[in-house]
Structure 1
């Protein structure tokens, strides 16, 4: 079965990140630096409310 999710890989070391919340959930913003080219990148990952609840449960278990 083919998946409609693209296989995207981002390489780099996260040197800064933040978590911003709103009524729709949360957005993780990660800043990366590619070690070979020095190129800076920024990635946004949105978590819906179910995703936020899942992360909270996982953190509480630690």
Structure 2
């Protein structure tokens, strides 16, 4: 007497190959974006001298 609504879970869409692949690629892309943002801020802050930083 189990219905389809009772046996499905929140993770069931990831059983589909295309959706799973897109989710993984999206996650990896987000990590790349975070790395790029951090590296850019780090590069800019490392190029500033202490006097330039405090005078602005």
* TM-score, normalisation: structure 2: 0.31
**Which has the larger share of helix?**
2
The structure showing larger relative contact order (alpha-carbon pairs under 8 Å, at least 6 residues apart) is 1
Larger radius of gyration: 2
**Which has the larger share of strand?**
1
* TM-score, normalisation: structure 1: 0.28
